[in-house]
Chain A
Amino acid sequence: MSLSKKVILIGHFGVGKSSLVQRFVHQKFSDQYITTIGVKIDKKVVQVDGFDVTMIIWDIAGEDSQKKVPVSYRLGAHGALYVFDLSRPSTYENLQSELDYLNQVIPGIPVQILANKMDLVNDTEREDILDSLSLEEVLETSAKTGLHVEEAFQRLAKKMV
């Protein structure tokens, strides 16, 4: 039996959501920034415990607040990847309240937090930032180098099944 799951990619604009999808689905990366309009859908089949899981990925245009994202885009989501950009404080400064809000509007679904653009910060900077956020289960990723990208989707798939 094949499972189909709606995964939403959310977070501020320019944090690398589309780049993560691009890396995950097409193994490509571009330095150019072309913002996503509305939502762009893509999919990839992953294996979880021997089952095929079709991840239907909704790459939603980034906003500086989740409140600005139309409710319909999140409707029926089975899991979310919340992405922030380690090189831009504004993308993680209000992370906790963003997560609280998500918990209200899409309760009970697994949310994996991704600290993207790992390649742009050094170890101390990254540690400082992550310490200040004091969140569990943040995965450091880089769409540019491919670091932890596969793992990010895989982890979420496992939680959704």
Chain B
Amino acid sequence: MFEHISRIERIKLEMISPLSQVVIFHTNGEVLDTCDTLIKVEAKKSVFDQFDFLKSIEEVFPGLPVGEKLVFDVVEWNEGAEGLFALEFVKFDDTRIQWVILNKTKDQEQITKVQQERNDSAINEEFLEIQRKYLEMEKALLDYKNEELHRVQKFKEQFFAEVSHEMRTPLNSISGLIDLLRSSQSEGSTDYLAALKATSNHLNAIINDVLDLSKIEAGKFSLSLSPFHLKKTIRNIVAGFEHSAREKGVKLNLEIDSTIPVHVDGDSVRFSQVIYNLLSNALKFTDRGHVSLAVTAERSSDSIQTLAFTIRDTGKGMSDRDIEGILEPYAQVEGQDYHQFGGTGLGLGIAQQLIQLMGGRLGIESEEGKGTTMTFQLEFQRSTLEPVQEEDKSTTDLSHLEVLFVEDDEIGTVLLKGIASEMGIKGTFVKSIEAFELEAQERPFDFIVTDVNLPDGDMISAIEGLRSRSGLNQSTKVIFLSGDDKEILDGLQEIENHDYLMKPIATDSLIALLCVEEPQVTINLDNLRTSTQGDGALMKEIIETILETLPLELVKLEKAQKEKDQVLLRKVLHKINPSISYLGNDRLINQRKALYTKVLDQEPINNELRNFCDAVTVALGVLQIEKGRL
């Protein structure tokens, strides 16, 4: 169509339409005509050589069907002209292409604005969407965590509810038994006491389980390391189960590899707890057949010995689900009845956690109706030290002790009386500070065992008062008992020579304190000072004499006791009277007097003399030190 446009018209077109340009070129590229209104196009030359843009689609033109338009709406041009152009190509016969160029630069701003806005908002929306999804995911995660927390919380609540229910049962029996004790005065009271003790032991075990577990959970549990006799420890635990196994008609087997080391380093208490818990669990669920414990030596090196422990029973067994559940500390095998099986059911969970703390892993294999096998391995350090021999409490005799017990709580008093009578301790029991102060002025005691809070005041202050006055029991060792953590007890730290036990007190711990601790013997040289009227040299001379002669007299006393030589006993006890008086220890003075009276009355004296001699020997040690100070 353009070939019909006259030159005039073309000029007109150029003038009225400076926004467009027409170029005619051959399909081989040769420029046939152009109106250079927008861009410079050289005639006769190839358009393909003039414009890279066309060069790159050079191959398209020969095949373009006649009459078909090839349109490029918007091209950002930077070859010969800067700006935005619309390009249109039409092949109007076999060989010629008409190329129309429209300058759209003036629309550029508008077009760009529209497209930019569209793209920007789409991209923003997508980012907002991504952010929203991310927040959603975070929220879902948070919800999940909350739910989990809630679940655990609920679990614990339920658990504590169950445990406190468990505790209420023995508590009920305890208060019932106390009522019985009250009403029945003394008749049958020993039976009730025994029952009380068993019940409170049970309650104590429950509380200890719960406390252990919460300590392990809170990561506040640490193991101690000291040498202990491995075989003996295991044998003792197994022996403890023999009675109940026999009663149930269950065979109890123990096989210990003879090559296991005798002494190892470890936490014997916690190790024992593991074996105890696993055996008691096995026995609990086994009504016929056997329960066996096998200890075998595995890998070993010079210093380390790995031991494998296997506890096998022919009991009721567990399903896989039960096993999973039982190892979750707060869970119980569903439908398990505390009353049927006893205990808190925490034993296994605790054992498992303790084994883990010791570096092992508890494995459980079980078949319902057939039995259960539990295995674990522990590494032990071979001990280079002999374990400290622990005194067997059943053979300890504490009958020489005089102890002042201060306790207002009735159950507490029953318990303390039980311990005192079991161990043969001469106990004086008071329920108030007033009574305590009277007793403390009356007689010397080896120990004061006291509750911290009493109806008429607190014992920490009362003990401070006692210690500040010189007189009887000024330095008697005090064992405080309290249901509170000792950290929260005001002023306790300032008190010297004391011990502390948390309630409910374990009988063993109290006995251990009473027998391990050598009662302190103090001396008071005031008598001697008065007699010598402060003459230092004379005092020293007398002390030296005492130090020389008294030990010899003690030897004589023991000899006389052995040979049942009453005359010699009486003579020596009489002879040492002044020396003992000079030591100024009321307990020694009273003991000597009591012994002398007994000998006079021809009464037998047994341990008292031994204790008296021991105490005098200790006092002589103190005297030696005092002499140095003069």
Contact = CB atoms under 8 A, between A and B. Distances in A.
A9 B122 CA distance: 20
B568 to A, nearest CB: 95
A90 interface: yes
B75 A38 contact: yes
Contacts of B119: 13-14, 33, 35, 62
Contact of B116 (A34, A43, A70, A76): A34
Given A75-B57, A76-B57, A38 B52 contact: no
B72 A72 contact: yes
Contact of B72 (A39, A43, A56, A62): A39
A73 interface: yes
B510 to A, nearest CB: 61
A6 B56 contact: yes
A60 B102 CA distance: 19
B55 interface: yes
A28 interface: no
A154 interface: no
A75 B60 contact: yes
A24 interface: no
A39 B126 contact: no
Residue picked from B59, B75, B127, most chain A C-beta under 10 Å: B75
Interface string B52-80: 11011111100000000011111111110
Given A6-B56, A75-B60, A33 B72 contact: no
Interface string A22-51: 000000000001111111111100000000
A146 B70 CA distance: 36
Contact of B126 (A4, A40, A54, A88): A88
A61 B115 contact: yes
Contacts of A43: 52
Interface in B73-96: 73-79, 84
Contacts of B126: 88-90
A4 B115 contact: no
Contacts of A90: 126
Interface string B87-116: 000000000000000000000100110011
9 contacts: A4-B55, A35-B115, A37-B115, A38-B74, A39-B72, A39-B74, A40-B75, A41-B76, A76-B58
Rank and list the top 4 A-B pairs by shortest CB-CB distance, nearest first.
Answer: A38-B74, A56-B56, A6-B56, A40-B76
Given A40-B76, A88-B126, 17 more contacts: A33-B123, A35-B115, A35-B116, A35-B119, A37-B111, A38-B75, A39-B74, A39-B75, A56-B56, A62-B119, A72-B72, A75-B60, A75-B70, A76-B57, A88-B127, A88-B130, A89-B130
